[in-house]
Structure 1
Amino acid sequence: MPQLRSFWYPLRISQRLKYSAYSSSNQKHEHFRDTSISEAERVVGYPTSFLNLRWLLSEEIAHVASHLRKLLGTNHPLQNLARDLILNSEKPSWGLIVLLVSKAGGHIKSFTDIDQDKTAGVLHSQRIVGEVTEMLKTSNLLHRTLITIDDNTKDVPNMRFGNKVALLCGDYLLSNSYQQLASIKDHDLNDLISSAVRDLAESEFIGVRDKNNKPLPSKPTQENTEFEIPAEFGIRPSSFTHFLGNAKTEWILRSTLSGASLLGKACKGVLLLAGHDEDFQMKGFLLGKYLALSLEAARDYTSVFSDRKISPISAPMLFHLQRYPTFYSTIERVINNESNFDDSDIRSKLQKSVALSDTILLQNEFSEKTLSILEHFRDSDAKIALRNIIHSIKLELLCEMAPTEPKPATGDKKPAAKKPKIGKPRNYDLGNGIYRFSRTRVYHKKALYKFVGKKVAPTKKPVKALTAVKPIGGEKNGEKRIVVLKKRRNYYPTEDKISKRPAKKCFKQHKRSLRTSIKPGTILILLAGPHKGKRVVFLKQLYSGLLLITGPFKINACPLRRISQRYVIGTKTRIDITGVKIPNTINDTYFRRERKKRAKKEEGDIFSVRKELYKVSDQRKADQKLVDKEIIGAIKKNPDRKLLYAYLATMFGLRSSQYPHRMKF
């Protein structure tokens, strides 16, 4: 069945792509991306956007958020980042990917129920790693919003304040992530995540920078040779200068250090916690790394067609510089502080450049690598969800690659014919029977008022003959015969009447069962009703299947009553009640209340008549005394009678660090 789901999912999305070809590109992206992410979140168990709420709604961040109003109207980049974090525009989140890899990998070692999250199918420590990954990524993004303040900077006090807020928020998330990481108590995991933070810091010291300390691409080399980048950077320092100059190699290096290494090592860490060997841990690292690179390439491609700023070190920009090295003169002016990097002119050039096709090939390369590594994981819903996310990224690029019609030549005066608009009708159902336009709005949009009172004479449709007269040869055949033109449907009644099947057995014929742990004389703990928490004595099972119990009333004020065995806990403590005689009149009918007919109210009796309260009958009191006398006599015969008196008189409850599933009653 998982194979069928993995096969049909891309086909289903491609059909949606076919029928929504005339919608906007933003709607397409949200449609395909949200479909795969919602299915992945269903596999994990809950929306992973809640991973950020623990620190986003904390007192420290809430206090800082109150000061962000001072940055309104300024050009500090912290504003846009805060908006993206609150709206959760980064999809899929890295915490979701880490949890999917955790569930797809499974567990090798055996863990206790406390260490596992049964609803999600992952360990609590693996969930902490997912949260830590999100916090480290957000901390790095906050630190990147710091800007350089010089004499030409406008609104200097607010800009300095924005730098302080960005620095303090990033440091708070960084320290909080290491605090949670220390709670796992795994030294190898600490080294792994620390090396990923080292890679994030190392990415800020590669190549040249502008006056605001933002990264700029390196000058393209004449050789244009690609170098193989190591799969994983260890703890020791490395030299990266020989990787710069080639578009593909430089982009992979920068993207790996600035985020792909963090996601890869987080995926490796969750497999380490599950007890997998080093080879499988390395597959998890490559899966996370290649998936992050695939997401980054798709993000760089879509930035060319969206309103977001184009990064000077994005994949289309680097490939464009490699094909047109003379374009690097614009970058050199930015390096020499002669001008700022303006993406308005560059955007139009990149949209017509071959660099976009190179970016698509780059994204397809890492998507295929991710899918090939994913085949080493066992078949599961998490594996299918990861595969669907990769397919949604590919389809996102297909939406952006919508072909444009060539413009007609200037000499051609004949306008191009418009394509027929195929899609939803003008007034369609938005959901739950709510239409886009009201009846009055449609009345005016279609100009139906022009046709009111102007009726066209109805045309009578020709009535088709049902029979025809055909000549018949022969003197004795009547010379003609009436023939039916259309064959009529014949009705053939069924020979055997369909009899109703007998319903299930009525309640009287149901089999009464009793748990093996419950026997006459067993002390039970009540879990529901007005006497919940009390310890009572089980007397017998009634014909309806309910249990007859008593406190006794003299000890804990629990009278004779019935209760379902679902709402009791059977203990191992028992009292010998073989000599106890219970009246045969105490049965199911004994506990039924009499239904009295209500008298009709007359005028003036609205407030005078009150509802009658239930009163215990004298017969019930006498039976209670009789049964209590028998049960207390049986308790006195027990050698532990003092302990039984105290045991029945005390209420059952749980204290701290006590769990019902670990107790023996």
Structure 2
Amino acid sequence: MRARALSAAGLTIRRTPSTSVCSQCLRDDLLLTQTLIQSRKFHPTRRRDVSPFGAAATAAQAIFKGMPKAPPGISVDPLRIVGKELKFLTKNIRQLLGSGHPALDKVAKYYTRSEGKHMRPLLVLLMSQATALDPRKHTSDSPNPRSVDSSFSSLSILDDANPDSNPLVAPSAESQYDFAGDDNILPAQRRLAEITELIHTASLLHDDVIDNAVTRRANSSANLAFGNKMAVLAGDFLLGRASVALARLRDPEVTELMATVIANLVEGEFMQLKNTAQDEAKPIYTDETLDYYLQKTYLKTASLISKSCRSAAVLGRSAPEVIEAAYAYGRNLGLAFQLVDDMLDYTLTEAELGKPAGADLELGLATAPLLFAWKSNPELGPLVGRKFRNEGDVQRAREIVYHSNGVEQTRVLAQDYADTAVAAISDFPDSEAKSGLIEMAEKTMKRRK
């Protein structure tokens, strides 16, 4: 579809072999954006119309065509739409994390003391609502009526003591969620939102050890407060409890999706350890350099968002085309989110960021703004090769990026992904939840931290 659009404009996309479907998608997105920038047909400060995202959004259009539309132009607050559900999120997560070992209990719950942005569970809940209006539910395959807390095996066999839960009481399907929440959000979808946050928090615990972080959410990082060993073990514990909760959703497809997220996080981290496709042996910018970076970004950031959005639609028994559209939204929004994050490291002060400015460079990471700058400034190559270890390397790299269009090109690419995310759900029935998903894409581009 994008190739035809470019052809009509007198432009072309250069196709190259790729090792995976995801890499090819990322390559096409990147080449399209770069071509439009160079041809001046894509103005970096103006939103552009985007066609529906491939076959997924086209099919979704066929499903929703002709349905009544809600009044347009109403500004919504995504947090308000699912506020009742989010109000109980931290409480339910802490219940999932209870441990009979006092030290483990304390470390496992450490990052739940301070409220995070909860972006990922927020997206799950909004997508659950937005896809609830799907007129072609799989009615013959209704969700499992058993509680999301019901175990398969005897608790004595599992030997997984959790003092914050009450295993002596057989819970009903609704017992974990006894508040007046939205009827369009199933208990399994609420639990999915909690699982998503557990996986994300586990990744924070592990990342802070890898990065030698000193702060997190305005407090001392867990690795600084308790040591690396306890922080790593607490992250493992969170993944274990997330896996148990995931199994109790009793949906093999969702289990498969969310389990691959955990593998993707590790794969992305290994890619980041190399930093670029050429590693340190041959620090020369090539056509594969940014492609490699975007693939790493998908694995580390966008995979969790895309697969949790898809899982929300799967749990709601949405039609296959709607499930694909939900995935496309999450994939593109996740990439936009990380690109904006990379950009902020170059545009905000330390006080605004809540962490040292230039932290990525200090860690030896060449992110999107620098990679765009590197393409026209080959003198960055040696700095990338030695991962900015020499005195003055970080400052020199920042100066080169500032005097190039690397930050602006990053913003343009992020906007392209955000626009594509919105296009993927453009034919969902109008609703507050759909407006909330659109607003999340806009907030992603406007965020300052």
The answer on whether the counterparts of 1:331 and 1:341 sit within 8 Å (CA) in structure 2 is no
Match of 1:362 among 413, 417, 421: 413
CA-CA distance at 1:314 after TM superposition: 2.2
Cα deviation, 1:395-451, whole Å, max 9, x if unaligned, reads 448xx9xxxxxxxxxxxxxxxxxxxxxxxxxxxxxxxxxxxxxxxxxxxxxxxxxxx
Aligned to 1:126: 189
Q: What is the identity, as a one-letter code, of the residue corresponding to 1:194?
A: A
2:333 matches 1:291 = yes
- Of residues 422, 434, 446, the one that matches 1:371 is 422
Distance 1:259 1:64, change over 3 A: farther
Q: Shift of the alpha carbon at 1:159?
A: 6.8
1:538-577 map, 5 Å: none
Return the TM-score normalized by structure 1.
0.43
1:48 partner amino acid:
L
SS in 1 for 2:200: helix
Identity across the alignment (%)? 22
Q: Is the 8 A contact 1:304 1:310 kept in 2?
A: no
How far apart are 1:104 and its partner, in Å? 0.2
Q: Which residue of 1 aligns with 2:32?
A: none
Provide the residue aligned with 2:5 in structure 1: none
Task: Give the corresponding residue for 1:95.
Answer: 121
The AA in structure 2 aligned to 1:195 is T
Matching residue of 1:314:
367
SS at match of 1:145: helix
Structure 2 Cα separation of the partners of residues 321 and 283 of structure 1: 35
CA contact (8 A) 2:301 2:334 kept: yes
Q: 2: distance between equivalents of 1:66 and 1:191? A: 28
Q: Is the counterpart of residue 329 in structure 1 residue 382 in structure 2?
A: yes
Query: Conserved in 1, the CA contact under 8 Å of 2:305 and 2:330?
Result: yes
Distance 1:179 1:325 in 2: 49
Structure with more of its chain in strand, by fraction: 1
SS in 1 for 2:430: coil
CA separation in 1, counterparts of 2:242 and 2:259? 11
1:261–1:148 Cα change, 3 Å: closer
Alignment check: 8 A CA contact 1:316 1:350 kept: yes
- Which has the larger share of helix? 2
Corresponding residue to 1:171 among 236, 244, 256: 236
Alpha-carbon RMSD across the aligned residues, in angstroms, is 3.7
3-state SS in 2 of match to 1:246:
helix
Larger relative contact order (C-alpha < 8 A, sep ≥ 6)?
2
Q: Does the residue aligned with 2:84 lie in a helix, a strand or coil?
A: coil
Q: Give the alignment's TM-score, normalised by structure 2.
A: 0.62
Amino acid at match of 2:416: E
Q: Which runs of 5+ in 2 are unaligned?
A: 1-67, 147-171, 213-222
**In structure 2, what is the Cα distance between the partners aligned to 1:138 and 1:341?**
34
Equivalent in the alignment of 2:200: 137
Question: Cα–Cα, structure 1 residues 290 and 82, in superposed 2: closer, same or farther, change >3 Å?
Answer: farther
Q: Deviations over 1:75-134 (max 9, x none)?
A: xxx9xx967x64435x35100001101110016236679757762220000111111111
* Counterparts of 1:293 and 1:262, CA distance in 2: 11
How many angstroms apart in 2 are the aligned matches of 1:202 and 1:145? 17
Alignment check: 8 A CA contact 2:70 2:431 kept: no
Query: Is 2:89 the partner of 1:51?
Result: yes
Equivalent in the alignment of 1:603: none
In the alignment, the residues of structure 1 paired with residue 198 and residue 393 of structure 2 have an alpha-carbon distance, to the nearest angstrom, of 31
Alpha-carbon separation, structure 2, partners of 1:341 and 1:218 = 23
Q: Is the 8 A contact 1:56 1:62 kept in 2?
A: no
Q: Is the 8 A contact 1:319 1:358 kept in 2?
A: yes
CA distance in 2, matches of 1:392, 1:148: 27
Letter in 2 for 1:97: L
Structure 2 partner of 1:190: 255
> Which of 249, 270, 277 is the matching residue for 2:319?
277
**Paired letter, 1:354:** N
Structure 1 segments unaligned to the other structure (5+ residues): 10-35, 69-77, 150-157, 210-214, 226-244, 401-665
Give the conservation status (yes or no) of the 8 Å contact 1:147–1:163. no
Partner of 1:403: none
Q: 2:431 aligns with which of 372, 377, 380?
A: 380
Alpha-carbon offset, residue 310 of structure 1:
3.7
